[in-house]
Structure 1
Amino acid sequence: MAENCKVYLDNASTTYPKAPGVAQRVCEFIEHVGCNVNRGEYEDAYSTAEVVLDTRERLCTLFGFNEPRNVIFTQNVTVALNMVLKGCFKAGDHLLISAMEHNAVMRPLTQLTENGVTFDRIPCNRDGELMVDEMESMLRPNTRAVVMTHASNVCGTLMPIEWVGAFCREHGLKFIVDCAQTGGTFPINMQAMHLDALCFTGHKGLLAPQGIGGFLITDSFAKELTPLFSGGTGSFSNLETLPLLLPDRFEAGTPNLPGIYGLNTSLNYLEKYGIDRIREQEQSLTQRMMESLTEKKLRLVGVDDATKKSAIVSLDFLGKDNAEVAYRLDSEYGIMTRCGLHCAPNSHKTLGTFPQGTVRFSISHFNTITEIDYVVKCIHKILAE
């Protein structure tokens, strides 16, 4: 590759490019449809409603769920987590979380502690792996749920959500999973894994636009949730009280229809291309990069087996300023990464990279071997200085 080319390796923040056809589908809605949903008695409104329902059904297929009406659209996974956490837990409730949670979980929980909710962090080892043997002893009589990311956004290490789901079922706990880093890449089956709520975002592995996300929730858990927002839904307009019907109960106001159209297209792409194929390509590129970076001047953060992590290579440049390295990778070599604490300070404390953070390279199946080899070459140049 020629130097000063552009290589995008910030896919854990948001994927680029999006799935083929997504931009065109968003544009098509804005230019040729443009109407609202659930609020018009005309053909375009009906066809829009069909796209929205089809998108809910495709998400059910992807995530092993059987209730399209229980797929709730939100702005993103952060809003989804806020709605689930703040809508359910109250003074006296105790939660367990992993030590690797993003601030999308931590900040709502910290707010909830002001109202009498408590939580404990299940410890993880220096590679970010969950210490499952500790969980039993951490239970209290008032423990109500486990909240957990599926994969660390800092180092990619996967959490054993199937095992944790069985643990929650055995102990009568709710299980809430944040799949921001794995949706569209790793298989998730809500029913088999005993998930009560799965919070997702569209703009990462689902390859959809920013501004669309949501959660899938079981009937029993939905009954325990108080809606965080209320307003018009286009249904039960004779009432000034919240509807009980899902998804209306949790979808007040006009939804992001351009985003849903884009998500519909990206889900179609994922179905045809295959998430197993995507994951295998990403793991191959990730393993290639990790095996090419074994210098003593570097610390690879997290597990070194690409099959046990999302497609992230997180590096601590020993003896150098990580922020300066990230700046040089971009300014001199056109390599786009993310440096810092990645909105997950306790993850870095667990991994031993606080406060300096890491330089995170997050890979997509749209990346190539040529690009990965170029990145490795540029890192070696910086290390040689």
Structure 2
Amino acid sequence: MKERPLIYLDNAATSWPKPPGVMEAMERAMREAAANPGRGSHEMAVKASRVLFEGRKMLARLFKIANPNDIAFMLNTTHALNQAIQGLLAPGDHVVTTAMEHNSVRRPLEALKRKLGIQVTYVPVGADGILKPNDVRHAITPATKLVAVTHSSNLLGTIAPIGDIGAVTRTAGVPLLVDAAQSAGVLEIDVEGMNIDLLAFPGHKGLMGPQGTGGLYIRPDLELEPLMQGGTGSRSESPEQPSTRPDRYEAGTPNTIGIAGLTEGVRFVIGETVQRVHAQELSLTRELMAGLSEIPGVRLLGPGPEIERTAIVAFTVDGVDPSETAFLLDRQFGIAVRSGFHCTPLGHESAGTTETGAVRASPGYFSQQSDIVSLISAVKEIGETLRA
């Protein structure tokens, strides 16, 4: 029996497939640069250090960061967000965030509410997920020490006006933390132009790299308490974590092989251009929305197709549990999507899907128009069959 090809529409979780150069770079690094960077002066250790340096340079180029050493490599966006949040806040601080945040923002904040007594204001949004900068401005108080905003909702695809919010936070003198889990490599990000003080990003999504990679940009004059302390290969004689960047935030042996792959992913995105990637994904997304909207019983979440968004389409089918829809798409049609609550319960509360969750389809740069046609046809068949 011939195996059916996979239609992968779960790129909001992890992009797939990767550009060929990513795997090639990882294999090359495993052969030639698999030693510990910064821990030795022999040839392979030096090559490993160069892998990290090249990765920082490529990321700095993409995000318009002046000094690559202001980028600390992390395991993923969650790691980066925890470093930013836990490294900055102190007892009694106030944080402004939004109802569209991922649990990678909400859970660290709620933990610090319990441990340190910080206060958190969740700025509400409507069912479309659109965030208004004035609502952020009005939520800021003299005790506010951080504003944390997701650049694009992982449920609704809504894009936050980060430049406008950055103008608000810069005027207020409050650091802005941006969760770029769904925007890095897909939307233009200029940390200076947008007044971003902390940028948390994954390697395994829009940057086309492998899992276990990501990073945190930290504004030059902003100091964080390290989330972890330990070996860095520098200032080893001192019992204190070094103050120099990026060593201060990179205790332990890094994922050099993964970072080699991430670097190639970023190089690919820069070569294709972020604008082209976004335009292609948005075209497929709007085609998917148009097709699904014509199916009786299907409800699309988030803003309408006329509003620019990232390549995320969340929907429900009347009378069908989202988990069953996703299961049938996988088993009967070979289509990979995600169902559930997508680690954003407040987002589902805003969308009115707290009781059910939703199905999320997310095309990627390598998705084809035929993938979209197949999904629309499959959803129509599932709805007709289960409601019959």
TM-score by length of 1: 0.96
Q: How does 1:153-172 map to 2 (within 5 A)?
A: 153-172=154-173
| Contact residue 133 and residue 168 of structure 2 kept, 8 A | no
| Contact residue 64 and residue 190 of structure 1 kept, 8 A | yes
Structure 1 outlier segments of 4+, above 4 Å: none
Whole-angstrom CA distance in 1 between matches of 2:372 and 2:339:
18
Q: How does 1:187-198 map to 2 (within 5 A)?
A: 187-198=188-199
Is residue 233 of structure 1 aligned with residue 207 of structure 2?
no
Is residue 353 of structure 1 aligned with residue 343 of structure 2?
no
Equivalent position amino acid for 1:263 in 2: L
The answer for the alignment partner of 2:338 in structure 1 is 338
What's the offset of the Cα at 1:190? Answer: 0.3
The answer for the alignment partner of 2:125 in structure 1 is 124
Give CA deviations for 1:45-98 in whole Å, capped at 9, x if unaligned: 222212211111111111111011111011111011111100110111101101
Is residue 184 of structure 1 aligned with residue 185 of structure 2?
yes
What's the offset of the Cα at 1:382? Answer: 1.5
What's the offset of the Cα at 1:317? Answer: 1.0
Equivalent position amino acid for 1:214 in 2: G
Equivalent position amino acid for 1:149 in 2: T
Q: Secondary structure at the match of 2:73?
A: strand
Whole-angstrom CA distance in 1 between matches of 2:122 and 2:3:
44
| Contact residue 174 and residue 196 of structure 1 kept, 8 A | yes
- Root mean square deviation of aligned Cα: 1.4
What's the offset of the Cα at 1:256? Answer: 0.5
Give CA deviations for 1:211-246 in whole Å, capped at 9, x if unaligned: 01110111221x2x1111111111112212111110
Q: Secondary structure at the match of 1:231?
A: coil
Unaligned runs of 5+ in 2: none
Q: How does 1:1-16 map to 2 (within 5 A)?
A: 4-16=4-16
Relative to structure 1, the CA distance from residue 42 to residue 163 in structure 2 (aligned partners, 3 Å threshold; closer, same or farther) is same
| Contact residue 32 and residue 44 of structure 2 kept, 8 A | no
Whole-angstrom CA distance in 2 between matches of 1:183 and 1:311:
13
What's the offset of the Cα at 1:306? Answer: 6.5
| Contact residue 333 and residue 378 of structure 1 kept, 8 A | yes
Give CA deviations for 1:121-157 in whole Å, capped at 9, x if unaligned: 1111111111333233322220122101100001111
Whole-angstrom CA distance in 1 between matches of 2:33 and 2:148:
39
| Contact residue 64 and residue 191 of structure 1 kept, 8 A | yes
What's the offset of the Cα at 1:165? Answer: 0.3
Equivalent position amino acid for 1:181 in 2: Q
Deviates more, 1:79-88 or 1:36-45: 36-45
Give CA deviations for 1:328-370 in whole Å, capped at 9, x if unaligned: 1111100111000001111000111112110000110101011
The answer for the alignment partner of 1:283 in structure 2 is 282
- Amino-acid identity (%): 38
Q: Secondary structure at the match of 1:87?
A: helix
What's the offset of the Cα at 1:32? Answer: 3.3
| Contact residue 58 and residue 267 of structure 1 kept, 8 A | yes
The answer for the alignment partner of 2:320 in structure 1 is 320
The answer for the alignment partner of 1:50 in structure 2 is 50
TM-score by length of 2: 0.96
The answer for the alignment partner of 1:66 in structure 2 is 66
Equivalent position amino acid for 1:118 in 2: Q
Whole-angstrom CA distance in 2 between matches of 1:372 and 1:321:
21
Q: Secondary structure at the match of 1:44?
A: helix
Whole-angstrom CA distance in 2 between matches of 1:126 and 1:32:
51
Equivalent position amino acid for 1:174 in 2: P
| Contact residue 136 and residue 165 of structure 2 kept, 8 A | no
The answer for the alignment partner of 1:78 in structure 2 is 78
